[in-house]
Amino acid sequence: MGGGIAGLWTLARLRAMGYRCLLLEQLALGAGQTIASQGIIHGGVKYALGSGGATDASKAIAQMPGVWRACLEGHGEVDLRKARVLSEHQYLWTAPGLSGMLGGLGATLAMRADCRGVDGVRRPTVLRGAPRSVSVYEVDEPVLDARSVVEAFAKEHGAWCVRPRGIKRLGCSHRADGTVESVWVHGPGDTGEGAVFPKAVVCVAGEGNAVLRSIAGNGGRGALPDKPQVRPLHMVMVRGAPGPMFAHCVGASTLPRLTITSAPDERGSGGWVWYVGGAIAEPESGAIERDEAAQISATLRVMHEVLGWVDVRGCELATCRWNRAEGVPSVQTRVARPEGPTISRAEGGNVMYAWPTKLAFAPLLAERVSEQLSSMGVTPSGAGGVEAPSVFEPAPIAPRPWEGRMVVSKDGFPTIQEVTWNSARSATLD
Ligand SMILES: Cc1cc2nc3c(=O)[nH]c(=O)nc-3n(C[C@H](O)[C@H](O)[C@H](O)COP(=O)(O)OP(=O)(O)OC[C@H]3O[C@@H](n4cnc5c(N)ncnc54)[C@H](O)[C@@H]3O)c2cc1C
């Protein structure tokens, strides 16, 4: 249940193993964090920033770019040849005037095999006009068009990805031992027909796992760990941006000041859209309390400081809010965030709640889900899909954040909300 990257990768892996599966989505494929993500297939450099060396998180994630690249080239466990690689590399640039303070960072980056300094024409165009004090590094982390990844999965497995028709909602019935017996849809005037009878249910609905927990329960007699955590972000979108940009701006803190990814603005200006995250979008910077106008002004101020040679006055800006949803770490770590994918399942239960923690970790999550199924004694039952009852319809694909947002309308139907753009010239920069 849930059609983000975790649900899609798990569906693909399990189908390849011979399991009969159906993916139940509520709104549209990728409608949660997946298409809202920046599409960076992290290899760990971001985690090494400021720490002066490899952490457990950076070691766990180091394999991921290789796993994804194999899939993008057509010899991995899923076929992502149709997904679009927007950039083969992610870049780092140092905030102007900070080079003296960043000596330790330079040493950390120089020791990594996946990272090297770049000068002159080897720099991305937008960074070529930077003052001499700015260093630029190229990192072996591809950046993907997240929607095209979802499209690639839908092309292969779309027939098994459905959502309830109209304003119907998902529900579950349970056996006496608490395990889920059936998943069904209901709506006005329905009596609960149109059920599927799964041996196991994998809840990968991101933030929506909290709602699924109230529907599917523990799925067994045992207890589940604490509630998952949700960490909000206030992202900024810049339309009409001067060119492609895939880079973290590193300053004196452990978090990049800005992380900018970009995509061709196919439905709008015809130029580039920058999608801006990093510290400016995080709660610690006050981003969540800022309204849209204040968040735009704050971002333009930071851009002026760290990208002062770039003119964005002719651009239009808008913001969007997303929540990262994560499980609780299985072992107590220094940081209160999980360092990799998390799965929780009650003892004897047939329901799993799972979070990849990062887009990049989806392959690892799918592998762990398949291991759990084996340990539960749920084995592949042969080729073929599960026929979806007629109360379901094919799940569409969500738009990119700058193209609109999937929401539920007042009368209960999934619909796309337009983005309202603001001129950069109207922003207050004092
Ligand atoms: C702004 C932002 C930028 C990010 N950038 C990166 C990045 O660059 N690199 C990286 O590795 N990670 C990144 N992440 C993290 C990454 O996006 C997430 O870890 C990952 O997408 C989570 O995938 P998921 O499938 O678990 O959840 P989601 O993508 O949230 O998918 C959940 C799905 O479940 C559906 N759903 C919800 N409720 C129900 C229900 N009741 N029944 C059925 N379906 C339901 C939703 O509609 C949605 O389609 C970013 C996250 C955010 C928010």
Q: Is the pLDDT of residue 315 over 70?
A: yes
Q: Is the pLDDT of residue 324 over 70?
A: yes
User: Which pLDDT belongs to residue 411?
Assistant: 84
Determine if ligand 1 sits within 6 Å of the CB of residue 322: yes
Alpha carbons 233 and 358: distance in angstroms, whole number: 14
Residue 337's pLDDT band, with cuts at 50, 70 and 90, is confident
- Distance, CA 168 to ligand 1 centroid (Å)? 22
**Whether the predicted model's global pTM rises above the 0.85 cut:** yes
Best residue for ligand 1 mutational test, from 11, 27, 34, 144 (most atoms within 8 Å of Cβ)? 34
Digit-coded pLDDT (tens) for 144-167: 999 999 999 999 999 999 998 877
Alpha carbons 357 and 5: distance in angstroms, whole number: 11
What tokens does 256 get? 């990049």
- Distance, CA 191 to ligand 1 centroid (Å)? 32
Atom of ligand 1 nearest to the CA of 5: 25
Mean predicted confidence (pLDDT) in 213-218? 91
- Distance, CA 209 to ligand 1 centroid (Å)? 11
CA 122 to chain centre: 29
Vertex 374 angle, CA 373 and 375, to 5°: 90
Q: Between these two residues, 390 and 104, which has the higher pLDDT value?
A: 390
Determine if ligand 1 sits within 6 Å of the CB of residue 358: yes
Atom of ligand 1 nearest to the CA of 29: 49
Positive or negative CA dihedral for 118, 122, 124, 129? positive
Determine if ligand 1 sits within 6 Å of the CB of residue 202: no
Determine if ligand 1 sits within 6 Å of the CB of residue 324: yes
Mean predicted confidence (pLDDT) in 203-222? 92
What is Dmax (Cα atoms) for the chain? 70
Best residue for ligand 1 mutational test, from 5, 10, 23, 33 (most atoms within 8 Å of Cβ)? 33
Alpha carbons 110 and 132: distance in angstroms, whole number: 19
Q: What are phi and psi of 307, to 5 degrees?
A: -135, 40
Dump the DSSP string for 368-428. Answer: HHHHHHHHTT-----S---PPPTTEEE--BPPPGGG-EEEE-TTS-EEEEPPPPEEGGGS-
Determine if ligand 1 sits within 6 Å of the CB of residue 366: no
Q: Which domains does the chain have, with CATH numbers?
A: 5-34+149-227+327-398 (3.50.50.60)
Positive or negative CA dihedral for 293, 297, 303, 308? positive
Dump the DSSP string for 168-204. Answer: -EEEEEE-TTS-EEEEEEE-TT--S-S-B--S-EEE-
Nearest to 276 by CA among 309, 306, 253: 306
